[in-house]
Structure formats: C-alpha cells, structure tokens
Structure 1
Amino acid sequence: MVQTGNHWPEGLQKLLEYVKDKYQNPKVYISENGSISYASVNPCIYTDNGSPLEVLLEDPYRISFVTRHLYRINKAIQ
C-alpha cells in the first residue's frame, strides 16, 4: 500500500499555526478531513446478530484518526 500524508495530523497543526500567524488569527472552517480505509464491509452488520449498530461503531482506525486530528487542532488553537 502506498503511504500518503493524508493521515498526518501534525501537518494540519502546522498549517493552522501558519495561517494563524500569517493572517492574524482568522476564522478557519475545516469542512472535510476524511480518512482512507481499505477495510471491507463487515458482513455481520447485515445479519440479525442483535446489535448491528454496535458493530458499525467498532471502528478503532477512524476513532484514532479523528482523535489525533482533533488533538492537533486544539494544539494549534492554543
């Protein structure tokens, strides 16, 4: 798998800090910061296993992705 920089939260922090310093702390709206995942759909979400939503919410990759980016956004704001 080719590794890209789309998952590097430090880059987002550096960009936000640059914009803050260069343009006197303007309002910035981040409208998208999606992740790329090659995981296949879990077939059990389509079966009657009693808790399909819980299966959908078991997504440690995206939870980590969002957590790391929010942490870096918070650091840039400070």
Structure 2
Amino acid sequence: MKFYIDYGTGEPQCCEKEDLGDVMPIADQGVTLTHESIVIRNAKGRVLARRDWHEDLAGIGNQSNPLRIGDGYYGEWRMPMYVSVDMD
C-alpha cells in the first residue's frame, strides 16, 4: 500500500508498506524541528494517523510514550476511528 507522510512542509513523502504500523516508525525517523503535526494519509487523502506537537509535557497529559524533539514533544500517534463501511 502507498502511504503519504506529511511533516507540515507541504510536500508529503510516499512510503510503500503493507501496514500503517510499519509506516509510523519511518515517520518518526524523519521528524525535523518544524514543530508541526506529523500526518499519515492514504492514497485517497484520508488521515490515518497523526502525531501532534506540544511545547511541554502538560499538553500531552498521561501519554506513555511521548517523542522528545529539541525543546518540545510529540504526543503519541492518534488514529481516527472509522466504521468498516467507511474504510477505503
């Protein structure tokens, strides 16, 4: 499957993997100091997962695995819930 990783630069990067779970670590490796949300979309543009930027841990709350980048943090991956009829 083709997935598209958007770091907030306006130029999503294509990543071909079998599963969304295989794309998330790749997206984390490419994180830069843009302080923008990281969004993974499918070929039709549907948001499958996002990691939001927070300036401190207070914005993240009780998340078990925040990703520290520079002077801030990315929260855990969030995935929208879709019913099976709505899936691509």
Greater share of helix = 1
Greater share of strand = 2
- TM-score band by shorter chain is under 0.3
- TM-score, normalization: structure 1? 0.25
Q: Give the structure, 1 or 2, with the largest relative contact order (CA under 8 Å, sep 6 or more).
A: 1
- TM-score, normalization: structure 2? 0.23
